[in-house]
């Protein structure tokens, strides 16, 4: 296949992840845009790229760019993704797709009408054992679902000195912890279980009322400067969902849970078996059977579902993780641009679905009432 020319907009941690995944997928990275032309030039030099773009307008005007990766703070997603789509580019846009439901729906509709490939990195779908869990649910092995439960816990904002743009609603959006990581859990669980949430009762809490005003790089703790600023976005959230089939699902999310660096965990309990997945131990899928029997399915290319085998690029015992998931997602996006139809590729439609759930979770937390997701 001919190499795709791509541009990356955003040079933080996630921009670097996109850059590596693009290279491994065989793309030609034409250049990068950043928070300033000077920063773009600096990163282009560090990444050995031919060009540092002045801004998004210069990116989308480049005829050698077919794909734009939007890796900026959340409040910029709508305008940048829209500019790329209207210029005829394919787009990978970081989640959340937008900071409002309306903007996310506009982008999803624009992507559909443009005929371009437009995807969102819900990359936890790409853990091989997650594919195994989905296959077993879809094949009916588990039987009718009884209960879905889980959590997504982090600790990078536990220290009051820690802060960054995600904490500011003007930059990150009204919801922080739920929109940032609860959205991943919801996408994953709906996709694995095959059931969609139709109602939610949610609650938010801000447990650290003031944070260091200095900010810092994501997932790091800056030194306390003494200056503090008030926080309005939530540190923790809890939600109880009901699916269209009547299954209850409970979720706890936190960015202030000591020792939990990136623990996305879910369990699906059904009539014949249960399955559980822990992203911090992503090589294994736990399977509970009747009569107190337990099984552990270990990731590998020699067993399990076709999708599990496809995504198992290393032998058992050679651990795969988040980076491999991201690389597979980007490779599948590029494959879709070349006309293939990869299974489970998350699109702007999925991004709009996530925005709808987040919108209704916020509404429920504010009203303290059950809220329909429609």
Beta bridge partners of 90: 67
The two structure tokens encoding residue 182: 């609860």
Residue 257, token pair as written in the block? 């849970």
pLDDT by residue for the chain (374 residues), tens digit each?
789 999 999 999 999 999 999 999 999 999 999 999 999 999 999 999 999 999 999 999 999 999 999 999 999 999 999 999 999 999 999 999 999 999 999 999 999 999 999 999 999 999 999 999 999 999 999 999 999 999 999 998 998 888 887 888 778 778 999 999 999 999 999 999 999 999 999 999 999 888 988 655 454 444 445 688 888 889 999 999 999 999 999 999 999 999 999 999 999 999 999 999 999 999 999 999 998 999 999 999 999 999 999 999 999 999 999 999 999 999 999 999 999 999 999 999 999 999 999 999 999 999 999 999 98
Domains and CATH numbers, the chain: 5-119 (3.40.50.720), 127-317+348-372 (3.30.360.10)
Burial 290-327 (b: 16+ CB within 10 A, else e): eeeeeeebebbeeebbebbbebbeeeeeeebeeebbbb
């Amino acid at each position: 296949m001919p190499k795709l020319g791509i541009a990356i907009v955003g040079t933080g941690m996630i921009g670097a992840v996109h850059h590596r995944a693009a290279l491994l997928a065989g793309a030609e990275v034409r250049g990068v845009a950043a928070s300033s032309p000077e920063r773009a030039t600096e990163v282009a030099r560090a990444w050995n790229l031919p060009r540092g773009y002045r801004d998004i307008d210069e990116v989308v005007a480049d005829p050698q760019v077919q794909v734009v990766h939007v890796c900026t703070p959340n409040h910029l997603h709508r305008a940048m993704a829209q500019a790329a789509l209207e210029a005829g580019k394919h787009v990978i846009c970081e989640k959340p797709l937008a900071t409002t439901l309306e903007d996310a729906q506009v982008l999803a509709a624009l992507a559909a009408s443009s005929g371009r490939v437009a995807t969102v990195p819900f990359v936890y779908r790409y853990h091989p054992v997650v594919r195994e869990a989905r296959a077993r649910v879809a094949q009916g092995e588990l039987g009718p679902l009884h209960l879905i439960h889980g959590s997504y816990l982090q600790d990078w904002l536990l220290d009051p000195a820690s802060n960054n743009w995600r904490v500011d609603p003007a930059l990150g959006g009204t919801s922080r912890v739920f929109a940032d990581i609860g959205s991943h859990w919801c996408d994953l669980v709906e996709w694995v279980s095959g059931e969609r949430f139709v109602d939610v009762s949610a609650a938010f809490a801000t447990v650290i009322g003031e944070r260091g005003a200095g900010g810092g790089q994501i997932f790091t703790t800056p030194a306390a400067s003494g200056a503090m600023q008030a926080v309005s976005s939530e540190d923790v959230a809890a939600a109880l969902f009901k699916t269209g089939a009547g299954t209850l699902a409970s979720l706890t999310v936190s960015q202030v849970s000591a020792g939990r660096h990136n623990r996305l965990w879910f369990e699906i309990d059904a009539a014949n078996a249960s399955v559980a997945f822990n992203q911090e131990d992503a090589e294994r899928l736990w399977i509970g059977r009747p009569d107190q029997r337990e099984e552990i399915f270990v990731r590998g290319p020699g067993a399990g579902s076709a999708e599990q085998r496809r995504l198992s690029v290393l032998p058992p015992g050679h651990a795969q993780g988040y980076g491999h998931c991201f690389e597979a997602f980007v490779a599948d996006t590029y494959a879709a641009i070349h006309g293939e139809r990869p299974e489970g590729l998350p699109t702007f439609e999925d991004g709009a679905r996530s925005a709808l759930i987040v919108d209704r979770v916020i509404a429920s937390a504010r009203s303290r009432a059950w809220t329909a997701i429609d």
